[in-house]
Structure formats: C-alpha cells, structure tokens
Amino acid sequence: MPRLKGRRVVKHSLSTRRRVTVAILCVVVIVGAFVVRLIDIQVVRADQLVAASLEKTSGAGTLYAPRGNIVDTNGTLLAGSVTRFDVTISPVDVDDVDRIDDDGNKVTIPAADALAEVAAVTGQKAEDVQKIVADALEKDASANFAFLTRGVGYDTYQALMELKKSGTWWIYTQQTSGRTYPNGAVAGGVLGFVGSDNAGLGGLELAQDSCLTGQNGTQAFQRSKDNVALPGTTTITKEPEPGGELKLTLDADLNWYMQQLVASQVTAQQAAWGTIVVTEAKTGKIRAIAEAPSLDPNDVSATAAEERRSRVFQNRFEPGSVFKPLTAASLIDAGLATPASQVIADYRYKPKNGASIKDALPHERQQLTLAGVLQTSSNTGTSQLGEKLSAEKRYNYLDAFGFGHASGLKFPGEQKGVLHPWQEWDNQTYYTTMFGQGVDVTGIELAGAYQALANLGEKLPLQLIEGCSYPDGTVTGAPEKAKPERIVSEKAALETLGMMETVVTEGFWSESLEIPGYRVAAKSGTGEQIIDGILQDTFYSSMAGAVPADDPEYVVTVTLKDPLYKRSSAAAAPVFKEAVLQVIKKYGIPPSTTPGANYPGTY
C-alpha cells in the first residue's frame, strides 16, 4: 500500500500542489480581507459605529430639574414650578381630517376648520393659527415644525390630545416647565418674574436665580423601533439637581392685607402709587412690602415694562418731615436737646446764613418744646434747635441711619438715596436736611432708619431672605447674624419714641391715628417735589412709626405719591392706623398697660 500511495503522490503532485497553493492563497486572501474589515470595524471606526448603533437602538431623555419654589416665612407658596406644554404643528402635513362621527359615518373636516378647532382649544384666533402655518410654509415648503403657542396648561393639553385622537394628527406637544404665582400680585414687585425660558428677569427671581435654578439631568435607554424603552435598560446618566427653595421673611397674608389697604387708598385718593413696609424692630426682618399698583407675575405683559418694579427699592423721593424724629434723636444723643428744649417758632425763620425757612401753613408765634416741634411738625422750630449740631455731625448721624447706602439686600435695580456730603450742603440745604428736604431716600432706607430708632438706637441689617434650602437639607444664603450698630443711645431713642407718641395723641392727625388701648409712635411727612425746577402742587405723603411705643415690636412705614384729594400726610395717616391695627391683630400684640408718654408740646 505505501508503494501504491507514493506512486499516486508522484503522479498528481504537480496539479495538487497548484491546487493547494491556490486554496491556501484563497484562504489567506479571504481571512486577510476579514481581518482588515474586522480591524476597520473594531478599531478604526469603532467609536463611530458604536455611536451610530446606539443612536439607532437607544434613546435619551431630559430629566427636568424644576426651578425652586419661593415661599413666605410660614411656607406659603409664593412662586412654584408647574408642568406646561408647548404646542407645535407640522405645517407641511396640515390637511383635511377624516373622522367618524357619532352615527358611524365618515366625515371629512376641511383643513381650515380643523385648524380653527385647534385654535379654539389653544385660545388663539383661527386666522393667527392659519398665518403661522402659511408663514412656515412660505419660508420652507416642506416645513414640518412650527410653534403654535407655548406654555399651555394641562387642560389645554388634554383637549389637544382628544383632537389628536380624533384625527388631527399633525399637532404635537412638548413638555416644558412654567412658573405659577398662586397669590398673584401679593409681593409681586418683590418676587419679580421669569422669562419664557424660566430664567429670572426681575426682582428676587433674578437676584436669587442661582439659588432657584436647577440642573437638568439626562437619562438613556435602549429602545425598540417604535421608540418604546426596552424594559430594564433605562439608566440615569446624570441626576437632575432641583433648584433650592427660597424662603422669605415676608408673610403672605399680612402682605396681602397691606396691599389691599394701600391699593384702596391709592384708588380713593387717585394717588400715583403707594407702599407700606412692615419690619420687625428687633430682628430687622421685613414682614411685608406692599405696593400699589403691583405687578402680577402671572401676567407680566399686563404691566408696562417700566412699571415692573418694586417701588420700595427702586423709587427715590424727598421724604419730608418723617426726618424730624431722626434729627431730634441725633440732638438728644449729642446732648444738645431734651424733649423739653424750648424754642420760639414763627411761621418764618431767617437764619444768619441767609437761608429762608417757613412752615407748611401760616401761623402765629408758638412757644414750643422739642416734643411740640414734632407734634406741630414745625420746620422753623426744627431748624432753630437743629442748628446746634454741626453739619458734619448731623451728616454722620444721617449716614449712620443708612441714607444713601441702599438696603444692603442687593435688590436688582435698587436705588440709593442721595445724601450729599455735608461739605456740599448750601445754606438752605444745611437747614432743609433737618426736615427731610434736599435729601433723597428710598422707602426701604426709611424703613431701615426707623428700625434703628425702634430698636432703641441699634441698627440691624434689614433681612428679606431666610435662606435657600436644598432637598439634601443644606441651607445657603442665610444672612450672617450681624452685630447691631448703635446709632443713638437708648435714652435718645426712647425719648424720641415718646415724643412721637405725643404726635399720635396731640398732633394734627390724632383722630386718624389713635388706637384705644395701644401706645403708638408715629411721625407724618409731606415731601415736596421739584420736577424740572418747578415746585409741584402734589406731594409725597408719608407716615412712619412703631408699635408699641414703649418697646417697639414692629415698624410700619407708609408712603403715597401724589394723593389728590388729601394732598398732605393726611392721606397716609389712616393707612398707617389700619396697617398698625392689622399688625396688632396679626401678631397678637396686647394692649399697653403703662401710661403713655407725657411730653408737653408748649411752655
């Protein structure tokens, strides 16, 4: 047998070898081709192909991180995030809609009518919707995307889904996030508003944007051809981080009442605007910032652009006589006066430096004490007593009370009062700054100054924000506990508050101001305004004070611009009284058990 084999091998060796060679070559070429392809796929284009395959087999979604809520001091929601829907349309697909009606008959709705149906649901005009479609098609004949309307609520979404089910398939919705303010215009100017992208554009929404804004997350999943996630394949690639919850010191209920109150008076007096600020004397926490008119953040477009503001922070005015208690406190603190200091007050006072001071109304010569000067709001009396204190020292007092320094709350667009340095005061200004003319303040600066007076001479930084708390429990943005700054002595503050109490009991507006059983300290102000060099015949009417007068808990400041029927502080006085009454009821302040201050006004 071996022999036989050997013979065959020899016989076929040539063709076999050739065949084997060819076969090996073939194998090498084929394997080589595969290897090349393999390397190409697995190494060279690996990333690209993996990405392409993932794109075909996997989906990604955004996990929306809601913008944080804004709540009041009791946790009442002032601003919250809600799910909204953008409605889009595929203009190129807009066509007649076939529908089965109630009787089972097939009916065809013309495209125009179908669009009108959609418009009725979204609350648009039919022609507007048609215009959107026509415009999109004009731009691009094969346009398959156009926004119909944005940010509609769930009810509209549901109605659209019904329409879609009944054949209007070319409308679509996208989930988005919106902002709601359940209490409307309550503290609206302070809260501010957001834009269509949900980013803060004004007020605290802007100032605290970094607290409120969350970080959207992403999720990935494998999907089937029709975009259904395969079970168990969804993974969160990035956790969404919701925004923080911003807690304010404001009280929504109190704020509402103050707004209703000041709005009522603004309407009744045809005033340009009015504000009330309620501040806790011992902590500096602001409990209410009421403004009328006020922005309703739910409907920003209803308020003109220049009116979308907080007037307490963003308007300056010459306050008038509400400055007198501050001058009086400075004088007492400097040891230059007591509530019994005597002065002879005429209607006019012409000091040696050439200035000319007169009172609001002509009157006979009066023999007043410092308390009487406040009661009758005598400019000439204030000037004569005030000139005992040098301009520099008086400037330092006013500066320390916080005028010209803004509130320190960093409110967006906040104004600073204008208190010119004492070296720049002219002879007239030297006197007028004693009674609140020739100096500009903001409502919040005035509230801050009265906080210092009411806190028995110690000024605290005003506080509007309790803090920004995150779901994991961390709290940021809470103001550091500041050391109170002493402006005037406790004695000076208490005596000044006592004199202001006699303003309520003995002053012009005592009928509008007195609250039986309670000791209230207050001072009126009628600020003149000069526009383009012309003294106006309307005024800033204000009232500032504290309750209870012997140990103040709350500071209330009221300002009305241009009341028409009562042009003086008489417009602000009843507002102040009602505001104080509400504060008393709200915080359960018991009636005073001590007798009121007794500083005679005349001698």
What residues make contact with other proteins under the rule CB under 8 A? 77, 80, 82-83, 153-155, 157, 180-186, 188, 224, 228-231, 252-253, 256-257, 259-261, 263-265, 267-270, 292, 294, 296, 298-299, 302, 512, 515-518, 564-566, 574-575, 577-578, 581-582, 584-585, 588-591
234 burial (CB, 10 Å; 0-12 / 13-18 / 19+) is middle
- Least CB distance to other proteins at residue 279 (A): 20
- Least CB distance to other proteins at residue 77 (A): 6
Please identify, using beta-carbon distances, which residue of 4 and 141 lies nearer to other proteins.
4
Q: How far are the Cα atoms of 234, 248, 583 from residue 184, in angstroms, in the given order?
A: 40, 16, 22
- Least CB distance to other proteins at residue 562 (A): 13
For residue 351, give every residue at least 6 positions away whose Cβ sits within 8 Å of its Cβ, in sequence order, or none.
357, 383, 387, 427, 431
Please identify, using beta-carbon distances, which residue of 384 and 592 lies nearer to other proteins.
592
Please identify, using beta-carbon distances, which residue of 145 and 565 lies nearer to other proteins.
565
Question: What is the token pair recorded at 208?
Answer: 């605290």
- Least CB distance to other proteins at residue 549 (A): 16
Name the 3-class secondary structure at 364. coil
Please identify, using beta-carbon distances, which residue of 64 and 347 lies nearer to other proteins.
64
Please identify, using beta-carbon distances, which residue of 132 and 295 lies nearer to other proteins.
295
Please identify, using beta-carbon distances, which residue of 473 and 588 lies nearer to other proteins.
588
Query: Quick one: angle between helices 324-333 and 379-386, nearest 10?
Result: 30
- Least CB distance to other proteins at residue 155 (A): 7
275 burial (CB, 10 Å; 0-12 / 13-18 / 19+) is buried
Task: Check if the beta carbon of residue 373 is closer than 8 Å to that of residue 381.
Answer: yes
- Least CB distance to other proteins at residue 184 (A): 3
Q: Which of 569, 567, 547 lies closest to 558 in space, CA to CA? A: 569
- Least CB distance to other proteins at residue 182 (A): 4
* Strand extents, DSSP E, 339-405: 342-345, 348-349, 357-358, 366-369
- For residue 195, give the H/E element and its range: none
Secondary-structure percent of the chain, ordered helix, strand, coil, rounded to 5: 40, 25, 35
Please identify, using beta-carbon distances, which residue of 311 and 459 lies nearer to other proteins.
311
Q: How far are the Cα atoms of 183, 259, 417, 467 from residue 203, in angstroms, in the given order?
A: 16, 17, 19, 16
* Strand extents, DSSP E, 249-311: 273-280, 286-292
Please identify, using beta-carbon distances, which residue of 188 and 402 lies nearer to other proteins.
188
- Least CB distance to other proteins at residue 589 (A): 8
